Amino acid sequence: MRKITLLFLFIWLGSGLNAQNMDFGLSIAPTYNFQIFRSTPNNIWSSQTGNGFLFGGFIQKPIGEHSFIASALKFEYFGFNQKYNGYLAQSYRVASIHIPILFKQEIGLTKNWFYEVGLGVNYHFLSRKYSGGFWLNVNELANKFQPHTQIGLSYYSPQNRYELSAYGRYYFIDLWKGFVQESSQTKTKLITFELALKYYLNK
């Protein structure tokens, strides 16, 4: 997984160095996250929801009249809370670097509407758990390298140089190694929805 993350980072940096015909800008987004649990012995499913945000820079390079290769380098932060009788009983906080690489295509005859599809990776460099009144570092219990698939729909406003994008992400690898969820037989998958506001700096 480390090699995959480095590959995505080198592609991103290499694209940025060759800035000819390159669009770039800044992006900020709230996120809504689903943490899905599956107990493997009895195949019982459950889920937990949480919120977060991400921000950073993005680039895109045209590869055709109506198509682009797009990428980004962003900081992402999200968490999940469990409350009992109004009190915080347990909580998780995760901070990561998010790097997607997407194919972006204008939709049919519509102008300024695009669909996006591709792959990406998150590197979770900080994971914390709140339990029993204390915050604990659980970095060693997290799967830090998280590859995912991503799809999205975007609208670009040329008059204002902004773009509004809605994305969905599905992560291939368990979020936790098992012990953090009190059982190594519990699988944890992450699904993220993102509503991003992008502003182009060079258009």
What beta strand segments (E) does 63-185 contain? 67-84, 87-106, 113-131, 134-137, 145-157, 162-171
User: Tell me, what amino acid is at 126?
Assistant: L
Q: What is the pLDDT of residue 172?
A: 93
For range 10-32, the mean pLDDT: 73
Determine what percent of the chain is predicted with pLDDT higher than 70.
83
Q: What is the pLDDT of residues 35-51, one digit of tens each?
A: 887 777 777 777 788 99
pLDDT of residue 130: 85
Is the pLDDT assigned to residue 104 strictly greater than 50? yes
Question: Is the whole model's pTM more than 0.95, yes or no?
Answer: no
Highest mean pLDDT range out of 87-96, 131-140, 153-162?
Answer: 153-162
Closest of 113, 115, 140, 105 to residue 126, by C-alpha: 140
Residue type, position 51, single letter: N
Structural contact between residues 187 and 193, judged by C-beta atoms closer than 8 angstroms:
no
CB contact at 8 A, 193 and 180 = no
Q: Helix or strand or coil: residue 62? A: strand
**Each residue of 71-103: pLDDT tens digit?**
999 999 999 887 776 677 778 899 999 999 999
Residue 140 is classified by DSSP as: G
Average pLDDT, rounded, for the chain = 84
> Minimum mean pLDDT among 18-27, 68-77, 125-134, 151-160: which range?
18-27
The domain spans of the chain are 2-110+122-160+171-200
Contact yes or no for 167/149 (Cβ under 8 A): no
Q: What is the pLDDT of residue 17?
A: 46
- Binned at pLDDT 50, 70 and 90, residue 126 comes out as very high
pLDDT exceeds cutoff 80 at 148: yes
Specify the higher pLDDT residue, 187 or 166.
Answer: 166
